[in-house]
Chain A
Amino acid sequence: MNHTAPLIPVRIVNEYVYCPRLAYMMWVQGEFAHSADTVEGKIRHKRVDKPGGRHPETAGEDTGEIHARSVALSSEHLGITAKIDLVEGQGRKVQPVDYKKGKRPHVAAGAYAPERVQVCAQGLLLREHGFEAGSGILYFAGSRERVRVEFDEALVAETTRAIEGLRTDSAKDKPPPPLMDSPKCARCSLIGICLPDEIGFLAQQREDIRPIYVRTENAFPLYVQSPASYVRKDGGQLVIEEKREKIAEVRLKDTSQVVLFGYCGMSTPALHECFRRQLPVTYMSYGGWFIGHGMGTGHHNVQTRTAQYRASFNEQTCLNLAAGLIQAKIQNCRTLLRRNWKASDDAGDKAPPQLLGALKSDMQQAGRAVSVQTLLGVEGSAARRYFEHFVFMISPQKNEETQGFDFSGRNRRPPRDPVNALLSFAYAMLVREWTVALSAVGLDPYRGFYHQMRFGRPALSLDMMEPFRPLVADSTVITAINNGEVSKKDFITTAFGCNLSPRGRKAFIAAFERRLSQEVTHPVFGYRLSYRRLFEVQARLLIRYLTGEVKEYPTFVTR
């Protein structure tokens, strides 16, 4: 017996019997997500968990009646630890009682295996401490029924097997594979992290994907860009003030992240509450430079980051990932041009075939690149081609209003004309969105595979956003201009460059958020989801690729 191994909580043994992968993700990787079931369980347990009653340290010193709540016991020998809801009995004869929030299941054994094993493990702990525990009780609060569980040989053997299995699995550096087609997945709170069907599909173990139970998004970002505003906390709300006057209230439960532009302030209690709720708070300059980002204590899953760092030293992995991402980016640029081409003098309203052909060959070249260096060259020439023709996606009339687009292509630091200003701002917003998404799943946004690491540059965010530059950023710019959501008067142009005015910025952020809420069909899995949720799915798939659970990272392209 390895005495340095951490004791395994008995509730994790329960999860292990339910699904070995779930137990691994919770215990080894520190993943957790609340669902209605877990919240209800927590509330039901509040009363039970108050310590109380009499419970002798070891058996034998007392012969009186025992009725003790919330009894913590551990055993080095068994390698487990538990907080038993209730221990009741007489003298040395006791039985553990475990509270379950639901109703009693109508099965022959009285209860499902995970619960029976859990209470049996508690019984083994009691035996280890000198008590006689021949059976235990599962109390189902939902139907107010007690179910007796006999600790017979078969159950004890099953329990020991489960503890042993969990210990063996925990020592591995990869989680066990997901369950296939199991009805258990639908109610599992970690389904969005585990992605059982997606991984099964990519590993070619299944032909189709069950319509994933995508949770509807019910929390959205709060952007504060109005100068001199201040954010403070009031109960379950964030209150935004300007010159000490309340200008808006936002419920924290409806907020997914807070973005602050320029020098607006935020109180420490408000920050604490955001961090407690795992809401990221990001700071940007008025011009849209991404300055910094905070998110509580960060993600527990160190394994993910280890896999990320390890992969980042492997040249072939870097090249594979980079080539896939750049290929997808060029393909998406091509699709955007094809879809949004506006009438020009000679070519009509269809993108010229030679341009589309050239981009296609760029795409193929990117796929064949033998080094990151050649890939950079291919990307550069494709980008030049794309931006030379970017202007044809802007309606000619609006083009005049915005003083035209610099035909030499992109210019930046600072951008010198309105369209470049919008593009720069949109990319900054996209970097921010990806940094938040990557940190939220436990990846390190600063260690990339394609972009060089430079101080302050979230390299992985820059890598991952490549395919989405045209789809999210560029397309928002085109839509905002063509719909007249931003116009010439929303820009401030000086000798030092061109920038958005507060009103223009507000209008553009709204357009950007609208784009992120738009639903697209996933090219590989075929279900529909919003861009915002798509970023999370892609980030989680990257983790699965880095840890070796899927062979290839599926990049995102639209048709």
Chain B
Amino acid sequence: MEHVYLVCYDISDQKRWRKIYKTMKGYGAWLQLSVFQCRLNKEDLLKMTDTLTEIMHCDEDNLIIIDIGVAETVSFKVASYGRPFQPIKHSAVVI
């Protein structure tokens, strides 16, 4: 079962920040500087958390993962100004 997560991080080192950003691109949609929206099942959440905590330095950096709820059923209200907010939807991609 998939949940929607909000992943935010503070990374004090540019090189590590880059690494975290790149890792996160594989797990979710970029929302804002250091903020990602993800739709993950438990396996992916574990893998993501494991990778991120290995890159970051726990004494200098900070990572917050907010569980918003079950992806299929959750309804959360989002106010977004300047740029539209789009929840992640899974479907076949045809290019």
Contact = CB atoms under 8 A, between A and B. Distances in A.
Do A and B associate with each other? yes
Interface of A: 34-36, 39-40, 43, 46, 216-226, 229, 234-237, 240, 247-255, 506, 509-510, 513, 517
B92 to A, nearest CB: 4
Contact of A236 (B1, B25, B50): B25
B90 interface: yes
B22 to A, nearest CB: 4
Contacts of A254: 90
B94 A36 contact: no
Interface in B19-77: 22-23, 25-28, 39, 41-44, 46-47, 50, 72
Nearest to B28: A251
A217 B22 CA distance: 25
Among B1, B25, B42, B93, chain A packs the most CB atoms within 10 A around the CB of B93
A219 to B, nearest CB: 8
A217 B90 contact: yes
A296 B33 CA distance: 36
A218 B22 CA distance: 21
A259 to B, nearest CB: 9
B72 A224 contact: no
B78 interface: no
A224 B46 contact: no
A46 B51 CA distance: 12
B90 A235 contact: no
Name the prevailing secondary structure of the B interface residues.
mixed
Nearest to A250: B93
Given A221-B92, A253-B44, A216 B26 contact: no
Given A35-B43, A506-B94, 11 more contacts: A36-B42, A36-B43, A40-B46, A217-B90, A220-B92, A220-B93, A221-B92, A236-B26, A247-B95, A248-B95, A517-B91
B47 A223 contact: no
A43 B46 contact: yes
A216 B1 contact: yes
Among B26, B90, B92, chain A packs the most CB atoms within 10 A around the CB of B92
A234 B25 contact: yes
Among A39, A46, A222, chain B packs the most CB atoms within 10 A around the CB of A39
B46 A39 contact: yes
B2 A39 contact: no
A514 B60 CA distance: 47
Contacts of B22: 234-236
Interface of B: 1-2, 22-23, 25-28, 39, 41-44, 46-47, 50, 72, 90-95
Nearest to B93: A222
Contacts of B91: 220, 513, 517
Contact of B26 (A225, A235, A513, A517): A235
13 contacts: A43-B47, A217-B90, A218-B39, A218-B90, A220-B92, A223-B92, A226-B95, A236-B25, A236-B26, A249-B25, A253-B44, A509-B92, A517-B92
Contact of B50 (A43, A253, A255): A43
Nearest to B29: A251
Contacts of A249: 25
B47 A513 contact: no
A48 B46 CA distance: 18
B95 A39 contact: no
B93 A248 contact: yes
A517 B92 CA distance: 9
Nearest to A229: B95
A252 B22 CA distance: 13
Nearest to B21: A235
Contacts of A218: 2, 39, 41, 90
Given A39-B46, A216-B2, A226-B95, A253 B90 contact: no
A240 B95 contact: yes
A248 B95 CA distance: 8
A165 to B, nearest CB: 31
A39 B94 contact: no
B90 A220 contact: yes
A222 B27 contact: no
Contacts of B43: 34-36, 39
Nearest to B2: A218
Contact of A224 (B27, B47, B95): B95
A247 B27 CA distance: 19
A240 B93 CA distance: 11
A46 B42 CA distance: 18
A223 B93 contact: yes
A513 B92 contact: yes
B26 A251 contact: yes
Contacts of A46: 50
Contacts of A240: 95
Among A218, A223, A240, chain B packs the most CB atoms within 10 A around the CB of A218
Contact of B23 (A223, A226, A235, A506): A235
Contacts of A510: 92, 94
B30 to A, nearest CB: 10
Contacts of A224: 95
B26 to A, nearest CB: 2
Contacts of B50: 43, 46
Contacts of B93: 220-223, 248, 250, 255
Contacts of B2: 216, 218
Contacts of A251: 25-28
B95 A237 contact: no
Nearest to B30: A249
Given A218-B41, A229-B95, A236-B23, A39 B90 contact: no
Contacts of A36: 41-43, 46
